Structure 1
Amino acid sequence: MGVSGLDALSLCMFLCLVGVSPSWGAVDPEIIAAQSADRVFYIPEQPSVNFLQYAGHITVDQSQERALFYWFFEAAHKSEDKPLLVWLNGGPGCSSVGYGAAQEIGPFLVKKGHQIELNHYAWNKGNSSANLLFLEAPAGVGFSYSNNTYAPGDSVTAWDSYNFLNKWLKRFPQYRNSELFIAGESYAGHYAPQLAEVIFDQNKIYYSLNDSSNYINLKGFMLGNPSLDDETDRKGMIDYAWSHAMLSDKDYQSILSSCDFTRSDSNQTEQCQNGMANYYRLYSMIDMYGINSPTCHLPTNSSHSFFGRLPSNRTMTSKFRVPAAGAGGYDACTSDYVFEYFNRQDVQEALHADLNKVPRPWDLCSNQVGNDWNESAFSVLPVIRKLLDGGLRIWLYSGDADGRIPVTSTRYALTKLGVNITQDWTPWYNQEEVGGWTISYAGGLTMATVRGAGHAVPVLAPDRALLLVSHFLDNIDLPRAAS
Structure 2
Amino acid sequence: MYWIIEKPQGYVLGNPYVVPDYDNYKIPFAHGMGLISDELFESWKKNCKGESYANIKPENIKCYNDVQAFKQVTGKINEAHILEPLCSGRSLRSQKGFAHKSILLEKSNDLISTGPFLSIMKCRSDAYVLSENWANDESVREALNVKKGSIGEWKRCSSDLDYIATTVDITPYHLNLSARGFRSLIYSGDHDFHLTYISTQAWIRSLNYSIIDEWRPWMVEDQVAGFARTYSNKMTFATVKGAGHTAPEYKPKECQTMMLRWISNKPL
- TM-score by structure 1 length? 0.44
Which residue number corresponds to residue 285 of structure 1?
A: 76
Q: Which residue of 2 aligns with 1:245?
A: 34
Aligned equivalents of 1:442, 1:297: Cα separation in 2? 42
How has the CA–CA distance of structure 1 residues 259 and 176 changed in structure 2, closer, same or farther, with 3 Å as cutoff?
same
SS in 2 for 1:455: coil
Count of residues in correspondence between the two structures: 238
Cα distance change of structure 1 residues 346 and 284 upon mapping to structure 2, 3 Å threshold: farther
In the alignment, the residues of structure 1 paired with residue 91 and residue 206 of structure 2 have an alpha-carbon distance, to the nearest angstrom, of: 43
Task: Indicate the residue corresponding to 1:336 in structure 2.
Answer: 129
Amino acid in structure 1 at the alignment position of 2:176: K
> 2:185: which partner in 1?
395
1:365 to 143, 147, 157: 157
* SS at 1:466 equivalent: helix
| Matched residue, 1:467 | 257
- Counterparts in 2 of 1:180-219, with a 5 A limit? 180=5, 216-219=6-9
Q: Deviations over 1:411-459 (max 9, x none)?
A: 1111111111111111111121111111111131111111111111112
- Using the TM superposition, give the Cα deviation of residue 343 of structure 1 relative to its aligned residue in structure 2, in angstroms: 2.3
- Verify the 8 A CA contact 2:187 2:240 in the aligned structure 1: yes
2:168 corresponds to which of 378, 383, 399: 378
Contact 1:288 1:404 in 2 (8 A): yes
* Counterpart AA for 1:290: H
Structure with the bigger RCO (C-alpha within 8 Å, sep 6+) is 2
Change in CA separation of 1:258 and 1:350 when aligned onto 2, cut-off 3 Å: farther
- Partners of 2:133 and 2:70 in 1: CA distance: 32
Task: State the one-letter code of the partner of 1:419.
Answer: Y
CA distance in 2, matches of 1:401, 1:393: 25
After superposing the two structures, state which structure 1 stretch, 423-432 or 236-245, moved more: 236-245
Q: Which has the higher helix share?
A: 2
- Any gaps of 5 or more consecutive residues in structure 2? 95-113
The 5 A counterparts of 1:49-448 are 175-177=1-3, 179-180=4-5, 216-231=6-21, 233-248=22-37, 249-250=39-40, 253-254=43-44, 257=48, 260-261=51-52, 268-269=56-57, 279-281=70-72, 284-296=75-87, 301=92, 332=124, 333-351=126-144, 356=149, 361-369=153-161, 373-448=163-238
Return the alpha-carbon distance in structure 1 between the equivalents of residues 7 and 245 of structure 2.
29
Counterpart CA distance in 2 for 1:287 and 1:302 is 19
Give the partner amino acid of 1:346: S
Measured after TM superposition, the shift of residue 350 of structure 1 is 4.0
Distance 2:214 2:49 in 1: 34
Q: Which residue of 2 aligns with 1:455?
A: 245
Hey, what's the Cα distance between the residues in 2 that align with 1:457 and 1:243? 20
Partner SS for 1:293: coil
Deviations 1:312-362 (A, max 9, x none): xxxxxxxxxxxxxxxx98952211211221222333344455675655x32
**Is the contact made by 1:225 and 1:397 (CA closer than 8 Å) also made in structure 2?**
yes
CA distance in structure 1 between the aligned counterparts of 2:179 and 2:44, rounded to whole angstroms? 40
**In the aligned structure 2, how far is the partner of 1:260 from the partner of 1:299?**
35
Unaligned ranges ≥5, structure 1: 1-174, 181-215, 304-327, 479-483
Separation of aligned partners in 1, 2:198 and 2:49: 20
Counterparts in 2 of 1:379 and 1:341: CA distance versus 1, 3 Å: same
Q: What percent identity do the matched residue pairs reach?
A: 24
Separation (CA, whole Å) in 2 of partners of 1:176 and 1:351: 25
1:475, distance to aligned residue in structure 2 (A): 1.1
TM-score by length of 2: 0.74
Over 3 Å counting, the alpha-carbon distance change for 1:415 and 1:346 in structure 2 is same
CA distance in 1, matches of 2:259, 2:145: 29
Asked if the contact 1:439–1:447 (Cα under 8 Å) also holds between the matched residues in 2, the reply is: yes
| Deviation of the 1:254 alpha carbon | 4.8
Q: Secondary structure at the match of 2:9?
A: strand
Q: How far has the Cα of 1:273 moved from its partner?
A: 7.0
Q: Tell me how large the CA RMSD over aligned residues is.
A: 3.4
Answer whether contact 1:238 1:252 (CA < 8 A) is retained: no
**Residue type of the alignment partner of 1:336:** V
Q: CA–CA distance in 2 between the matches of 1:275 and 1:301? A: 34
Change in Cα spacing, 1:433 to 1:251, as seen in structure 2 (3 Å) is: closer
